[in-house]
Structure 1
Amino acid sequence: MDRIPPTRLSRLLTGWAGGGSDALPRLLADALRELAERGDVGPGTVLPSQRALATALGVSRSTVTAAYGLLEAEGRLESRHGSGSRLRASGAVGEPASEGRLASFGSRDGTLDLSSGALDGLPAVADALDALSGRDLTAALADDGYLPYGLPQLREQLAEYHRAAGLPTSPEQILVTAGSQQALWLITQGLVEPGDTVVVEDPTYRGALEALRARGARLVPLPPHGAPGPQGDGPAALARLAGHIRPRLVYLQPSVHNPTGLGMSARTRRAWATVLAEHGLYTVEDNAYAELSLRDDSAPVPLAAQLPTAATATIGTLSKLFWGGLRLGWIRASTTVIHRLAEIRKSVDLSCPVVEQLLAVRLLQGLPEARARRRAQLRERLAATERLLTAEAPHWRWEHPAGGSALWVELPGADAEATAQLARRAGVLIVPGPAFSAVDGFRHHLRLPFADQHGNLAAALPVLLRSAERSGSAR
């Protein structure tokens, strides 16, 4: 029987804690029942122990005991001594629908939302849209508008984008996608089979974990490239691992890492490239956050430039730099892989909107100006956030990031999962560290967006501090 970890269950349990303490058992029971009915938790799943779930949710053990008792009375839960509490099938219950790591994107029910690091859009998007005219569509209108590989003009520009960064690329090596998340999903569908071993950093992008888990991959975590000491030597760890098993692929974020915000040095890139090439390992380089560098005027040379084209796929996007509402990304890989992924893409999405691609063509022409504007904005907001945290939360710890829009903050002595649940009940949405871990690690970390322009972090910080303190005292 499958067991669901308390950290994952707590991420799936959203929108249940809006009542007083007396109502919590009933609300929790209702939320668990809803998960079963939606198929997010399958029949036969063994739920966490009452103590473990109470810790993850930041509630008393009696609350979980009462909720389990309500479900057991309904026949929804079967408790056996020594084997835990198991959900029973009731009605049409399907397979689990989600890993739960991206749950916050569908359940933003808090008054202060810190669950996403997405940025406000740049004015350049509106300017480019204003500049578009019917004449821009003339050539496209001569065809049917179904472009599964992408608009030819945009593919050429994206190829030039990579060539300018030191990675020789032809337009035939580019597949335009509906954002970097679709790019990642296509790669997992096209290059990974259920049961394949995939190496990831720990922590890493939660959307990657979601896609790989959904595909049935076996995830093997390595330390992130910014980890201190010997444990941070990811290339050496990968070399040892490759001596025993052969991963199907290795997923890395060399330029700007999500969630830590760190970046690989040139020396570290060379070390990774050496190990990857020596062992012939396929590498997926996710550069979704590369354009949010706080240090560089341009994106760094891709890791793929030091590896064979046939053994790499690179992910990029315009959504992070320009605007999240611009759902446009791409994959750069060998023509063979691009063709395979385009065929998969046709089954779910025949083409990205042509008008959006024409907009992207114009936006890429103003890339240097957009980088400079965004970098100045991020630096200013980061400085303000670090001043705020230093003054109000001096015991919290973080490393100054190389880029991105969030801080990877350690809360000494606090349980991040319980902190997030307690904060949710006080009207603040935040994503705890285990959501970014293949092994539900980083129980003392939160990802804290610093680039919000509406003052949400300053307003939410007292709630987060109280929640962290309560989660620590309850352990």
Structure 2
Amino acid sequence: MDRYLSARQLARLVQVPAETRPYYKALAESVRSLILDGRLAVRVRLPAERHLAEELGVSRTTVTTAYDRLREQGYLESRQGAGSWTALPDPAALGVEGPWVVSDDEGRLPLHCAAPPATSYLGDAIAAAAEAYHRYALGMGYDPIGVAPLREAVARRYRERGVATRPEQIMITAGAQHAIHLVMSLLVGPQDPVLVESPTFSHAIDVARLRGARLVPVGIQEDGWHLDLLECALRQSAARLAYVIPDFHNPTGHLMGDEDRAALVAAARRNDAILLADETWAELALDDVGPRRPLASFDTDGRVISIGSASKLWWGGLRVGWIRTTAALVRRLALFRASVDISGAIVEQLAVTHLFDRLEETRADRCRSLRASRAALVAALHAELPSWTFTPPPGGGSLWIRLDAPIATPLADAAAARGVRIAPGPWFGVDGTLEHYVRIPFTQPPDVLTDAVHRIAAGTGSYGYRPAEPLTPTL
């Protein structure tokens, strides 16, 4: 016998205030949250749009629009003449509204994204680039590998960090995400196993899914990586590519020690796997952690591909990243890239070339501001949400916070209603797990973070507890 809800039963569950605007969006989000936290089971038939509209006291168009939104997001399936049933999105589908993209300007504090503002040195760098670009204007302007001065600057920085690198081993990309996409698109095919950490950078998961890869998650523990678990997963899955973040891991903030880095590369060698190492946060150590060798420094046979970016150190709007690998693979990637975007923008590349000349100054400024913001966020959380637990990371840009109950997604919905967008744990997982966690970055100014925590705490009342008490879900 089919399970179903009456209009009165569903209206009692959604609890959307009549004055909420836009009402259809709040109604859809409420139903989605009910499904995600298990209070509304999958394959349950929902009431007809007309009946629910009558019960809620809204127009039928409003309910129809909410149902349409749920269908687009994969939380509702419908059949003509038979009704609509609750569902879960296909794990391999990104949906029409990715969690990182806001479809309209809702004026919310953007704490879902760990992106610092532009460095104060950016204006000088752009001015210098404007003076130098005419040297390139006589040519075609297409260089799929990147302009020579920037490739040399990136290679020099790797040499300074202890990794012998030639400019021919560097490819300039439109940010780190572009670099991940190029590498995975070239090396990964449908149903190929790809090892990822859990949690991990959400966009890397998206790329692997777009390629039709079979994701092999390996959990990162409270104390960091357990190399025996990682190698076991490599061996059992036969994964030939592993995406890892050894430097101030996103989102946990963990920093892999040199002994574990050497062991990871050795494990990859034994299992004939390639390591795609994301070093986006590598330059931003906020505490004294001592020197750390890049993962590529332990590589002897070209199985470590390193990815970096200008976004965290200087500014995400520059859209400049890079890949360090073998010269042969750089040539393959350049040929493959030509089918996608041909080349990056010259002026931005020249600006980043100049910023490399002021790397130490900009890094000192960035770390100083991140330390102040980290301190403000930690203090605000301790004061207003003391039951949440976390370990402040020694670098990077965010806190990975454990809640007292698996309600990260509805908590994020409640925060959004208070004007703050935060990233719930499942964004960083493979199979809808990590509902005990949220990520909150400290890349915004201290006063913004303090205000954001106050708003989040004010919205927790919808879960039946005061901020100073342990978090428990209301069933």
Displacement, 1:186?
Answer: 0.7
Larger RCO: 1 or 2 (CA < 8 Å, sep 6+): 1
Distance 1:99 1:186, change over 3 A: farther
TM-score by length of 1: 0.80
For 2:390, what is the secondary structure of its paired residue?
coil
Q: Which residue of 2 aligns with 1:27?
A: 24
Alignment-mate amino acid for residue 249 of structure 1: L
Q: CA deviation at 1:18?
A: 13
Please give the alpha-carbon distance, in whole angstroms, between the structure 1 residues aligned to 2:308 and 2:370. 20
Residue number in structure 2 paired with 1:77: 78
1:293 aligns with 2:285: yes
Please state how far the C-alpha of 1:204 moved relative to its aligned partner: 0.4
Instruction: Tell me how far 1:361 sits from its aligned partner.
Output: 1.0
Structure 1 counterpart of 2:125 = 128
Paired residue for 1:40?
none
Q: Give the deviation of 1:145 after TM superposition.
A: 1.1
Confirm whether residue 115 of structure 1 aligns to residue 112 of structure 2. Answer: yes
1: CA distance, partners of 2:290 / 2:341: 32
Which stretch of structure 1 is more off in the superposition, 247-256 or 101-110?
A: 101-110
1:343 is matched with 335
Q: Does 1:208 align with 2:224?
A: no
Distance in 2 (alpha carbons) for counterparts of 1:364 and 1:404: 19
Residue of structure 2 in register with 1:254 after alignment: 246
CA distance in 2, matches of 1:153, 1:352: 14
Identity, in percent, stands at: 32
Q: 3-state DSSP class of the match of 1:291?
A: coil
Work out which of the residue numbers 254, 265, 269 in structure 2 matches 1:273: 265
Gaps of 5+ in 2: 1-13, 53-62, 72-76, 464-471
> Structure 1, residues 138-183: CA drift from partner, whole Å, max 9, x if none?
4312321111110011111111111111111111111100111111
Aligned pair partner of 1:153 in 127, 149, 155: 149
Q: 1:98 to 1:314 in 2, by over 3 A?
A: farther
- Measured against aligned partners, the alpha-carbon deviations of 1:307-326 in whole angstroms (never above 9, x if no partner) come to 23421211001111011111
Write the letter of the residue equivalent to 1:153.
P
2:196 pairs with 1:195: no
Distance 2:271 2:40 in 1: 50
2:57 corresponds to which residue? none
Residue matched to 2:466:
none
User: Deviations for 1:188-211, whole angstroms, at most 9, x for unmatched residues?
Assistant: 111110111011110001111111
Does the 8 Å CA contact 1:242/1:279 hold for their aligned counterparts? Answer: yes
Equivalent pairs, count: 428
Question: 2:420 and 2:294 mapped to 1: Cα distance?
Answer: 37
Residues 248 and 396, structure 2, Cα contact 8 Å, conserved in 1: yes
* CA distances 1:281-339 after superposition (whole Å, capped 9, x unpaired): 11000001112221359983211211234212110011110111111001111122212
**Residue type at the aligned position of 1:161:** R
Other-structure match for 2:308? 316
Query: Could you tell me how far 1:427 is from its partner in structure 2?
Result: 2.2
Q: Taking structure 1 as reference, are residues 100 and 261 closer, same or farther at Cα in structure 2, changes over 3 Å only?
A: farther
The letter of the residue matching 2:385 is A
Residue number among 37, 41, 56 corresponding to 2:36 in the alignment: 56
Match of 1:416 among 394, 403, 408: 408
Query: Do 1:297 and 1:368's aligned partners in 2 also have CA atoms closer than 8 Å?
Result: no
**For residues 161 and 178 of structure 2, what CA distance do their matches in structure 1 show?**
23
Query: Once the two structures are superposed, what CA deviation does each residue of 1:402-439 show, in whole Å capped at 9, x if it has no partner?
Result: 21111111121351001011222232211101100112
The answer to whether the 8 Å contact 1:273/1:307 transfers is: yes
Change (3 A) 1:57 1:455: farther
State TM-score, norm by structure 2. 0.80
In the alignment, what sits opposite 2:474? 474
1:168 and 2:160 correspond: no
Say whether the 8 Å CA contact 2:108–2:416 is kept in structure 1: no
Q: CA RMSD in A?
A: 3.5
CA contact (8 A) 2:148 2:167 kept: yes
Partner in structure 1 of residue 419 of structure 2? 427
Aligned to 1:440: 432
